[in-house]
Amino acid sequence: MIKISLLMVFLFIVMLSVALLYVTFVPEYVADLEGPEGYDLSYEDEKHRYRSFSSNGEEIYYTGINESGDLIDTSGDAHWIYMYGGGCVNCHGTDGRGGIPIMMGNIMSPDIRYSTLSSGEHHMNHVPYDEEALKIAITEGIDSEGIPLDMNMPRWKMIDEDLDDLIGYLKDL
């Protein structure tokens, strides 16, 4: 019994040490998650350097970076997305069908293919989305019925051209 207690204390100390190292060094890497000014793009650049995208919308979907190389900023609480590559694909998958647990939690990402969203077959059978409602969902986090989306959904600060391109890509999925 004493050996088990000592082992548990040892494991607790190791976990605490790892947590302290994380808290000490990670903030230097992510610097300023309030906006892209302090964000180091080298992770995304390296990760997607050898991938070519067929459109600006596809590049935004995969990387959160537009074809000009600009990181698309978010507002709200979902700044963690920058740690995972910064694109829609991280939660909604390469096919847009979702079903992926978000942040190791019990919330599953919804299907965001335009064909599903506009038909009313999507998560919780809400009122079907049109392009304007989808733009509001992406930029303001408000669903087609005017209800706020979960805070895990980033509120993307996109220019109209990028937003139109992203929606065009969702239509192709």
pLDDT tens-digit profile, the chain (173 residues): 666 677 777 777 777 666 655 555 544 444 333 434 444 444 444 444 457 899 999 999 998 999 998 988 888 766 666 656 678 988 898 999 988 887 666 788 889 999 999 986 655 567 899 999 999 999 999 999 999 998 888 899 999 999 999 999 999 99
In this prediction, residue 22 carries a pLDDT of 55
Q: Where are the domains of the chain?
A: 51-172
In this prediction, residue 1 carries a pLDDT of 61
In this prediction, residue 32 carries a pLDDT of 38
In this prediction, residue 45 carries a pLDDT of 45
- The CA distances from residue 117 to 47, 97, 133, in Å, are 30, 11, 10
Terminal CA-CA length for the chain: 57
Query: 75: left (phi > 0), else alpha (psi -120 to 50), else beta?
Result: beta
In this prediction, residue 124 carries a pLDDT of 59
* Segments of 30-140 assigned E as strands: 74-75
pTM score of the predicted model: 0.69
Report how far residue 126's alpha carbon sits from residue 55's, in angstroms, rounded to the nearest whole number: 29
Sign of CA dihedral 67, 69, 70, 76: positive
In this prediction, residue 31 carries a pLDDT of 39
